[in-house]
Every structure is written in structure tokens, then in C-alpha cells.
Amino acid sequence: MARDETTREPSREASNVSRRNYLRLTGTAAASLAAFGTGVTAAEEFQTITVPAGEVRSFSLGDGDTLENTLIDITADGAGYRISANGDGWAIRNVGVRGYFDANVDDPIVALCPNGGTGTIENVYLGDGGYDAPAGKTTGIFVHAYHTGHIDIDRVNVQGWAGNGVYASGPGNHDDHPNPGGGGTIHVTNSFAADNPTGDFRLGTDGSYCKNCVSKGAGRGYWGFYNTTKLVDCDIHNGIYASDGAWESPAVVEVENTRYSDTHTYVSSAEISGSSAGAPRDRMPSGVPTTAKEAASATSSTDDGSDSTTSEPDDSTPAGTVLELVAGPNTSNATYEFTVEGSVQKRTSSGDVAAEENDSVTDNGDGTVTVSGLSGNGYGDAFFVDGDIVSMTLDESKWTLRYGGESVSVDDLVLPNKLVIDGSNAPRRSSEYVVEFSGTARKSAALGSINPHDAISEGKISGRVIGGKDGYRYSGEITGFRLDGPAGVRVEEDS
């Protein structure tokens, strides 16, 4: 059994990684790219490395080496990559991987800093995922057990891997383990992980933490495997776990200003210290790349109000999408009412379009909130809506509606039907789907995860699940459907 896997997981010995040979990279028709130095530095310029079908491209970083501003395209069948970083002062920066990883390599990124060195992994997109390879469960980022120094992991997007998203518990120590780790620390900040069934984020050494990170999807959200680790300012949708049943390590997870759904400890000596700060928020931390191109070009379309430099979320900006209701210029006391399956907060600092004291937000006690108010003469109200609008009553001739900055109608907002693609019955298998429909559709964070694999175009929904759920609200009817994989499907009309 490998030193940091549970008895329910395959041995990591299959990867033939040892202290001596770990940087000797092999693969099917592997090509080697080493000693990257400064590479391409301009944000608007990046190199694209396209890996042919059946090949694995290898990158080897030692002391002071940098791999940056690079897009690795592995969309060809069986194409893969292996990035190995071993030394002091190395950096993996502005790197995006395009395509689903289906090569026979268990850990595409393996990192460590021996002898107290430091390393950096920042602005990296690994959101297209990877499968359960014959060599072992694929993991987005793997920190080797021999790591003794410090690694900063910042603004990483890692989704849909067969094993862990960020697997960095190996350096942890436990008295009963036959091969203790090096004790090196890892700080994961401003990052997003989803649908990695073994664990989204996994740490195991004193001084290691996740800060301003979001975990959502299948499997364990955060796993403190050994020693004492921390969660600060995080949103963990799928549970916090402490310790492991195989080694019975007395792991401690300390939580601070963190919102989570539930907790699990494998042994009585394990501990989760602290309490939840509320319901986990659906958000993407500021600066996280959502595509391979965004990562390679050092650009980002995400901004949740968090400060990616200080890692402190801005709690003055509530979660959700802004809904504005603006009364016509020649109206007086025009009324409205709408109900949301989720939560609503008033936006009070938006000039002439701001919710006021006479606008009410009522919790119905069944997971829905009803909002009512009135306005007139060109003024209006605004709210942060975090969930699905399930009903709305108003005279559209008297109102202009904007949702997320775009003009919409009531029919655009109120989508009565639910569609859920549920892959939780097969946590390590991919299911791809295409749905044709009449009407309008919108992704629902209340029903499932939101990630860049899913797309809504004119009359068509397409996406992929690996162990998690995708959920949509839609109007009209489903006119065509194709599913490739074991996921289940649920359709609810007028719900």
C-alpha cells in the first residue's frame, strides 16, 4: 500500500515513483521539454503545445526553472502530459490544459521542494479533468511525500479528475506510518475545485491551509489527512473530512470564517475545530481562470468580490446575480412580487435603483424567499438573487427588468421546469449529454455544479458530469436527448 492512500484506493506503487528515479519521465512516445527558464513572459503572448494522439509530453523543472504562459492541448485521443518540479525556486505559472486527460499517467503534475526549498504553482487551469487511468487514479496536482520545503498554490481551477483535485497530504507524518513524509507545507489560496471524488483539496502537514477556496461537487470537499491543517474564508459544499481509517491518524482541521455543509471524522481522535459561518456560497474565487486560454494568457473573467492578493473575501458583496426592476417614467406605485428558491439580499447602494425599507424579503421556511415592493417615475429596486426565480407577478408594461446587467422578460427569468443530470451513482465515470429544447434555459447552482464544461446555446444544452450533478431550469419542452455514460436523468415540470 502506498504511504498516503486509504485501503479503498489503488496502490501508488504502480507509478514507479521513488526518490531516485522520480524525475526520469516516461510515457507513450514521450517527448521531453526541460529547463524552461523565463519562457514567454508577455501576458498576451503564450505558446501552444499540441500533443499528438497517443503521446505524452514531459516537462522537467529543477532549481530556478519556470514553465509559464503555456497552453497544453491534449484534445487528441490518448494525448497527455507530465510536469515534474523538483528543486528550489521553480514555478509553474500561467499554464492551461485544454482537453480531457485520457493518457496512462496517474499524476500529470508532481511537485516537491526538498531541503527546505520553495516552489510556486499559480494561475493554472486543470478544469477539463481526467479519467481513471490504468496507471492509477489521475490527480490534478500531486505533492510528493518527500517534500520538505514550502509550495504556494494560488488561483488554480481543478475539476473532474478521477482521484483528487489537489493531493498534497503526502508530506504529512503519523507515528504508525512505515514511511513518514517530509513535513513540507502547502498553502492553497484563491482556488476552485469540483467533482474530484476522492477529495477536492487534501492537506496533511502542520502549517498547511486552504484560504479563500471553494469546493463543490462529488466526493470529499476538504480532507485533512494528517496533523493540523486549516480552512480560512472557504466555501466547502461537499463536506469536511478529518483523518483516515487506514492509518487512524489524529488529524485536526481548524476552520475560521468558513461555510460548509457537514463534517466527518474517521477515528475518534480526529477533530474538526470550529463551526460553520453559514451556508456555502456558490462562487468562483477572484482571478481563477475558467478556460485554458485564460490561464495561458494570464487573464481572468472571474471576480466574486474577493481580493486575490490578500486572500480575504469581501463580505460586503453578497453572493448572487443582481436583479434590477425599474419602473417606467410615467408610472406611480407600480407593484411587483417574485419568489426565489434560494436566498435574496437587498442591494442598497445602487443610486436610483436600490431596495429600500418598504421593500420586503420574507423567508417562507421551505427554502424559498418572497420579495415584494413598489416604485414609480423611473426609479427602481435591486436585489442579489442567489438561486432560481420560480414565480414573478408584475405588469410588464410598467417595468424594465435587468438580470446580471442584461435586459430580460418575465419569461426569461421564470423557468418552471427542472432538468438534473446525476452522475453520483458512478463517481469515476464520465457522462456526456446533449439536450435539445424549446424555450429558454439557465444553469441552476441550486440543482448542481457550474463549470465550463457545460454550455447553453440556441435550443441546446450540452455538458459532462463525473460523479456530480448538473442542473438546469428551462421553459418549453425537451425535443431531443442524447446521453453517453451511466448518469441518471430527472425531469420535473412546473416545479
Mean pLDDT by 10 residues, the chain (495 residues): 31 30 32 38 73 94 95 93 96 96 92 94 95 84 95 96 93 73 94 93 95 88 92 92 76 92 83 88 92 91 48 51 91 92 82 82 91 91 90 94 89 91 77 92 78 80 83 92 93 83
What's the pLDDT score for residue 175? 62
In terms of phi and psi (left: phi > 0; alpha: psi -120 to 50; beta: otherwise), the region of 357 is: alpha
pLDDT of residue 464: 85
Residue matched to cell numbers 423567508:
363
CB atoms within 10 A of CB 267: 14
Q: What does the alpha-carbon distance between residue 109 and residue 443 come to, in Å, rounded to a whole number?
A: 31
Whole-number pLDDT of residue 423: 83
Q: Give the pLDDT of residue 404.
A: 82
What span, in angstroms and rounded, lies between the C-alpha atoms of 2 and 5? 6
- Collapsing DSSP states into helix, strand and coil, what is residue 45? coil
Nearest to 54 by CA among 75, 32, 25, 23: 75
pLDDT at res. 247: 64
Domain ranges for the chain = 12-296, 321-410, 417-492
Q: Which three cell numbers stand for residue 355?
A: 431596495
Burial (0-12, 13-18, 19+ Cβ within 10 Å), 78: middle
Contact 99, 79 (CB under 8 A): yes
The C-alpha atoms of residue 188 and residue 231 are separated, in whole angstroms, by 10
Query: Edge to edge, what strands does the sheet with 478-484 contain?
Result: 455-457, 460-466, 430-437, 478-484
